[in-house]
Amino acid sequence: MTAVTTSGSTEQDLTRESIGLFADVPATRLSQFGQWRALTGRIVRTMAVKGELVIAIVAPLVFTLGFYLPLRWVMKIEGIDYGQFVMPIIVLQTMSFTMMSNAQIAAFETATGLNTRMQTMPVGRLVPLAARLSAGLVRSVTSLIAALVFGLVIGFRLHSSVLQSVLFCVCSVAVGTVLAIGADALGCLTKNPQSLSQALTLPTLIFGMLSCGFVPETSFPAWIRPFVRNQPISQFSFALRDMASGGVSWHVAWVPLVWLCGLAVFFVPLAIWASMRRE
């Protein structure tokens, strides 16, 4: 009986000594900013290791060669500076790659159970979503810089003011980010990176080809021109083209702005719900 009492007293003494030893150590404080920074860094490092950032640079080159070379002589006959004309749709197509990348990352993290695991840990509820979008933003900016560099080679120039040039870049990244938000929601819901990538490719091609980004509206049959003129990709390309030339007017800018805000109003709540829902 005495031995048991002595053993218990010894354990209590050791516990008191341990508490006293770490008494001066500050308590751990959870930082959502630190969590966001760590998760964003993890995704960006993974993108770098897997070569996705290299693809973000190569994709604008492929788009530039694939879109510019086949049509430049035809457009030159019509008196169109095709390098200046086609660059907005090249930028928008590169932003669509960010959308697909975010969809695949979200689907992979959901399928592997990482999102579920995050929900059981003291991690901010919106931190994983914010980290994926921040990593997508890094990819968007990388692709945009590459696209502008390749655009210089084919004769594209930002002829307008510094403000309009900055607006060109901001609007391009904004379109990519809004599309990435919607794609992130789809990725969390479907949990299948392969099928999701295929599903997103088709509407991207349809809206891209049936737009005024590659050829003027007059090149399309009369019956389909209303759709071609008013769909969002055409409206975005109109605004970006004006920003790069003489400067965009409110008469041109308000329609793509409505499209962008409308998509954001729909996609943001959907992405938050899809990322935070428990299975």
Tens digit of each residue's pLDDT (9 = 90 or more) over 81-122: 999 999 999 999 999 888 888 888 888 888 888 888 888 888
Confidence of residue 183 (pLDDT cuts 50, 70, 90): very high
CA angle 24, 30, 32 (to 5 degrees): 150
Model pLDDT for residues 113-136, shown as the tens digit of each residue: 888 888 888 888 889 999 999 999
Between 276 and 261, whose confidence is greater? 261
pLDDT at 16: 57
Q: Mean pLDDT for the chain?
A: 86
Residue indicated by tokens 């003011």: 161
| pLDDT computed for residue 147 by the predictor | 94
- pLDDT value of residue 198: 76
| pLDDT for res 142 | 94
User: Does the pLDDT value for residue 157 go beyond 80?
Assistant: yes
The encoded tokens of residue 262 equal 């409308």
Place of tokens 């492929």: 62
> 158 in helix, strand or coil?
coil
Residue 1: the pLDDT is 45
Which residue shows structure tokens 């209303």? 226
Which of 197, 214, 188 shows the shortest CA–CA distance to 93? 214
For 217, the enclosing helix (H) or strand (E) is none
Per-residue confidence band for 268, with pLDDT thresholds at 50, 70 and 90: very high
CA 123 – CA 272 distance, rounded (Å): 15
Least confident stretch, 24-28, 54-58, 229-233: 24-28
Over residues 188-234, the pLDDT tens digits come to: 888 777 777 777 888 888 899 999 999 999 889 999 999 999 999 99
The rounded distance, in Å, linking the Cα atoms of 251 and 230 is: 14
Is the Cβ–Cβ distance between 256 and 232 less than 8 Å? Answer: yes
